[in-house]
């Protein structure tokens, strides 16, 4: 069994166009602000994430979201 999901089923990923995750809740993009004193902003700290697509299918999305 493969671990792929068709790209058109990844509608949750489109949430980024409408909402942002801030301090444990979804907020409007206008409310998703970062303090000018934020350590990540001042010193470039960050966490990065990526999803792999093969043949227009998202690999491991369901398992990833469960984590």
Tens place of pLDDT per residue across the chain (67 aa): 455 656 666 555 555 467 788 888 888 888 989 899 998 889 988 888 888 999 989 999 888 888 8
pTM of this prediction exceeds 0.75: no
- The four Cα atoms 48, 62, 26, 24 give a dihedral, to 10 degrees, of -70
Q: How high is the pLDDT of residue 37?
A: 94
Please give the Cα distance from 58 to 7 (Å, whole number): 6
Domain spans of the chain?
Answer: 4-66
């Amino acid at each position: 069994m493969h671990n792929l999901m068709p790209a058109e089923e990844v509608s949750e990923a489109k949430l980024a166009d409408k909402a942002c995750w801030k301090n444990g809740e979804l907020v409007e993009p206008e409310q998703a602000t970062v303090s000018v004193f934020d350590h990540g902003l001042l010193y470039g700290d960050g966490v990065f994430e990526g999803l792999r697509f093969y043949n227009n299918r998202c690999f491991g999305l369901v398992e990833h979201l469960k984590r």
